[in-house]
Amino acid sequence: MKPLSIPVAPFKGEDTLPKAVDVVIIGGGIVGISTALELAERGISVAVCEKGVIAGEQSSRNWGWTRQMGRDERELPLCMHSVELWSKMNARINRETGWRPTGISYLSYTKRELQDWLAWAEIGKRHGVDARMLTPSEIAEKIPGNNGSLLGVLHTGSDGRAEPWIAVPAMAEAAREKGAHIVTGCAVRGIETTAGRVSSVVTERGEIHCQAVVLAGGIWSRLFAGNMGIDFPQLKVIGPVAHVDGVEGMTDMPVGAGDFAYRKRLDGSFTIAVRNLNLAPITPDHLRLFTEFAPTYLTTWRELSLRFNSSFFRELATKRKWQLNEKTIFEQCRVMDPPANSGFTRKALRNMTRRFPGFAKARVLNEWSGVIDATPGAIPIISPIHHIPGFHIASGFSGHGFGIGPGAGQLMADLITGDRTSVDRKVFDISRLRPRYAEGNTDKSH
């Protein structure tokens, strides 16, 4: 496998498959690894099968924010719980994840932005989030280096930051120490059932018998589920990011504005991006799912740069049905590593330098892109698939996965074990997007 555009902390998976475990998790990103960690800590035998490397895709390519602020109210309780889990993660796994309780701030340069954040502050207050508008003196203290054009700042002190490229491999090491099997370079081709229930997974290296499966495949979840006859509504969005240094005098906390975002890293350099703008290459799935995503597009079209390119024809040619003895796309594409976008980096730096002159001499060290798995409404699915007992999906995190990954993993573990969940499971149930898959509904044809 060729070197990736972003360095990820090395993790060597096991060379052999276990013959049988209680649970198999498909995908070694933040959600799959968090689920494995939870299950292993409960004494449940679990295996993670990752087709490429641990955290090779979006789980290492995101901004590294762990936030509650600005979240959809339906998702907020899970975000709050996840921040609590992040705050204890270093001690829990006895390793460095880079998590720090820095707080996060959103900057307002227009009256519309200010009104939006004032409104969200009230939402946060209802839920007990410590979000508040900063006073002018607090802005001067907490947001140094700004050019003085701010109308207001929404700040949440309990939010924080972590280093994605080291956090997830560190959590994987901890899960393995606690008994989880973690196998890399091993694609799962499909699932076998007995009397309608999950009984095993078939991988490129052989079969693992199990009682439950979690599909935490990120951008690959729709394709995998489709081969099982499950219509899982999910699209791909590309987010370009860059790593820069040579910047001094900035706050330690992540900062977001209407058209830029930055996060100071552990070594003092910065992860930067254009906020509220992603690339959306049009694919056949955009046509198949047009009516479902149309309401989301109508409210977020300013944040998407639609592109028609070779992605359409490449995905059109991708096999959508296969037998379990056939080689699959998952073995052909070990890690989705889209090209960087220097235009986005330049735009991010222009936008930031206009507001923070300290970025004028920033030096670009690296650029990359990540592919985000998005659902209609941008709320993930963390749910059993009720008509296939033992099968579960945790996907469609819509750019929120790293921050809420620990909470999502705990929720999924609770669903598997039957333990009481810490948040309302119905918010994330598959029936929200696919009523025909609701629990107790035996007609899946409409």
The pLDDT tens digits for 431-442 are 999 999 988 775
Average pLDDT over residues 291-315: 89
pLDDT exceeds cutoff 60 at 445: no
Q: Report residue 300's pLDDT band, with 50, 70 and 90 as the boundaries.
A: confident
Mean pLDDT for the stretch of residues 157-175: 99
Taking only the tens place, the pLDDT of each residue in 387-401 is 999 999 999 999 999
Measured CA to CA, the distance from residue 401 to residue 407 in angstroms comes to 10
Q: How large is the average pLDDT for residues 128-141?
A: 96
Superfamily of domain 23-437: FAD/NAD(P)-binding domain (3.50.50.60)
Report residue 444's pLDDT band, with 50, 70 and 90 as the boundaries. Answer: low
For range 115-122, the mean pLDDT: 97
Q: What is the pLDDT of residue 399?
A: 95
Q: Give the residue-averaged pLDDT of 300-324.
A: 91
Q: Does residue 90 carry a pLDDT above 90? A: yes
* Class of residue 137 by CB neighbours under 10 A (exposed 0-12, middle 13-18, buried 19+): exposed
Which of 50-54, 146-150, 162-166, 178-182 has the least mean pLDDT? 146-150
pLDDT band at 446 (very low <50, low <70, confident <90, very high): very low
Average pLDDT over residues 342-360: 97
pLDDT of residue 95 exceeding 50, the answer is: yes
Interval 181-223: pLDDT, tens: 999 999 999 999 999 999 999 999 999 999 999 999 999 999 9
The mean pLDDT of the chain is 96
pLDDT at residue number 443: 54
How many Å is the maximal CA-CA distance in the chain? 67
Span of 289-298, 300-309, 325-334, 356-365 with lowest mean pLDDT: 300-309
Give me the amino acid identity at 290: F
